Every structure is written in structure tokens, then in C-alpha cells.
Amino acid sequence: MEYRRLGKSGLKVSALSFGSWVTFSYQVGVDDAVDCLKTAYDAGVNFFDNAEAYAKGKSELIMGEAIKKLGWPRDSYSVSSKVMFGAVPDPGPTQRGLSRKHVTEACHQALQRLQLDHLDLYFCHRPDPETPIEETVRAMHDLIQQGKVLYWGTSEWSAAEIQEAYDIARRHHLTPPTMEQPQYNMFIRERVEKEYAPLYDPEGVGLGTTIWSPLRSGVLTGKYNDGIPEGSRMTVQGYEWLKDQVFGSNGPQMIATVRELTKVAEGLGTSMTLLALAWCLKNPNVSTVILGASRAEQLRENLKALEVVDQLTDDVMAEIDGILGNRP
């Protein structure tokens, strides 16, 4: 396993990490979670991603129970949660958002579900236009001062919003954000490669990134080239929006592109899945690539992506860019 610094912080995270979005609760129970977490941990993975909104808290309950069963030393891994959308169906006005009240109480609730005494990483799961950024920054700083959170960051915030949070923190001697969790893959790259570019400078924000959906919700595995297989995440109840998003007007073009990219993968003697993951790992501004899997065998295969990175020479990357046609 390769380990990378989380931005300019001193924390080192595994280049490949494991997240529970969609799978835990919907496709994975405690026993399967134990298998997946053990597979990842035994391969050197040391960061496990979660959120209050995933399965409305059930995802954190499953992960917490699985980690308890595994009995790992607490100083050997990092766990995250995210706050914004709430962990109950139809959350009330104080049960969602980034107010001091919800940020604080959601942290306590996540710790209870995960059966931990602190969160290593705590993300603002989206911007909250109804809460001043300074209020959120102060709430995060206080949780860090109390030892309940070690690093805080954002997810899908604009570069301007992240910079504002950083500037407020520096101006008031508070803890600034350390990391951002954006979507990043062969089809979605503008924000990570262009918009955030000024934020990676260690003389400034020194932003780390924990990227999600490296396979564009499975499209980049090639498994949707001939339709939607039964049991895939596109068939999970409550995630119909994902199917609409991926198979909307751009769907046929994406599938055609994946077919062309598959030829590149075959030429390298690898799979489309590993090519897509290795492509994300190739970006030096990516701290860790979050993998999602419902089976240990699937996860074990995806962890081989690190072996493919060295095959992505400048010529191969240029060929991929030529097929994608979307370089920022």
C-alpha cells in the first residue's frame, strides 16, 4: 500500500481507502462489512469513510459494530463522518444543516453510532447557504479543541467557499479546513483539476482530497455497457436519481467512451475498472481514492489498481485524454 499526506497536514492516509456509501445497510450487513473491512485493512487501507446521511445513520451503525468485532488498535486507522443532511427521515430544521447546533450534535451522534471516542475526519457534506461559514468554522474548531474531531473539511464546496473558510480560520486563530471530498473520475474532472488548483499550494490552504465515485457509480467498470445488471447499485431503492443522472442524455456517449477506453485497458493487460482507478491515483493532488464494494472479492480486485499506475505513461495518459476529450 502507498500512503500519502492528507494535503499539507501530517496525517498519512492510504492511497486507496474504503467507503460505505450505498452499500452498507442497502447491500451489506455487519457480517459482510466485517469481511470487507478486514480485506481492506489487511491490504494496508487505513481510512474508512462514512456519513450521517448514509442509510440515515444505519451505515455508521454497521461500520461501528464491524470495527468493534475486528478489534483493531484505534491508532492504526482513521474514520470519517459527514454532517449536513441529517440522520433521520424528514429531518426537522435543527436536525440538518451546518449550524453550530447540528454540527455539534451530529458529531456526538456519529460517535455513538460508530462506537468511537473521536472522529479522525469530519466533513461538511455540502455547503449550507443558510448558515454563515464563520459559524461552521467555529463549531468545527471547538470540536477539535474538545478532542472529538482531529481534522475537518468539506465535500463539494466551491473553491471560493473553501478559501473563505480558510481565511476566516486564519483571521480568528481557528483551525482551518484540511481536506475536501469531491467527486473525481474520468468524466468528472473540472473541479479537482482546475477549480481547486490554487488550493493545493502548501503555502496557502494546502488542500488534501479524498475523492469519491472514481468509477462514476460503476459506469467506468463497463458493467453497464449492455444495460443495468440486477443487484447493481442502480437498482437500489432510493437511489433512482443515480440511475437518472448516469443514464440521462449523456448516457449513450459515456457508454461509447467506456468501450473505447476498454481497448486501452486491454492493451495494457488490465481491466477497465483498474484503469479508471489507476487514472485517479495518477493525480498527485489526490490524497486517497475511496473504493466502494459490496463483496470482499470485488474489493480485493480493486485494490490491485496500485499495480497499474506505473503503466500509465505520458503516452497512455495522452491517449486517454484524446478519447475523453474533456481535459480542463
And the C-alpha cell for 77?
Answer: 486507522
Contact 70, 34 (CB under 8 A): yes
pLDDT of residue 294: 87
Which of 69, 22, 82 lies closest to 41, judged by CA? Answer: 69
Per-residue pLDDT at 229: 64
Check 41, 54, 77, 196 and give the catalytic one.
54
For the chain, what's the residue count? 328
* Contact by Cβ (8 Å): 76, 114: no
pLDDT given at position 112: 98
DSSP string across 123-152: EE-S--TTS-HHHHHHHHHHHHHTTSEEEE
Reference 261, options 325, 200, 182, 197; nearest CA is 325
pLDDT recorded at residue 217:
87
Give CA–CA dist 49/67, Å, rounded: 13
Active-site residue flag, 54: yes
Q: How far apart are CA 140 and CA 152, in angstroms?
A: 7
Domains parsed from the chain with CATH numbers: 3-218+283-305 (3.20.20.100)
End-to-end Cα, the chain, rounded Å: 30
Q: Where does residue 35 rank: exposed (0-12), middle (13-18), buried (19+ CB within 10 A)?
A: middle
How far does CA 301 lie from the centroid of its chain? 19
Question: Is-contact 294 32, C-beta < 8 A?
Answer: yes
**Separation CA 84–CA 71 (nearest Å):** 30
Q: Which three cell numbers mark 95?
A: 436536525
Query: Are 8 and 51 within 8 A, CB to CB?
Result: no
pLDDT at residue 27, rounded to an integer: 84
Report angle CA 312, 22, 178 to the nearest 5 degrees: 60
What is the reported pLDDT for 177?
98
Q: What is the pLDDT of residue 109?
A: 98
* pLDDT score for 17: 98
Q: Where are the alpha helices (DSSP H) in the chain?
A: 30-42, 58-70, 100-114, 133-145, 159-171, 190, 240-246, 251-267, 272-281, 296-302, 314-324
Answer for the pair 80, 47: CB distance below 8 angstroms, yes or no: yes
DSSP readout, 173-205?
T-PPP-EE--B-SSS--HIIIIITGGGG-TTTT
Q: What is the pLDDT along the chain (328 residues), one digit of tens a residue?
A: 999 999 999 999 999 999 998 778 788 899 999 999 999 999 999 999 999 999 999 999 999 999 999 999 999 999 999 999 999 999 999 999 999 999 999 999 999 999 999 999 999 999 999 999 999 999 999 999 999 999 999 999 999 999 999 999 999 999 999 999 999 999 999 999 999 999 999 999 999 999 999 999 889 998 887 767 666 656 666 666 666 766 677 778 889 999 999 999 999 999 999 999 999 999 999 999 999 988 999 999 999 999 999 999 999 999 999 999 999 9
Q: Tell me the pTM.
A: 0.94
Residue 270, pLDDT score: 98
Inter-residue contact 46 to 76 (CB < 8 Å) = yes
User: What local confidence, expressed as pLDDT, does residue 144 receive?
Assistant: 98
pLDDT of residue 237: 64
Q: Is the dihedral of CA 198, 202, 205, 209 positive or negative?
A: positive
The DSSP symbol for 213 reads -
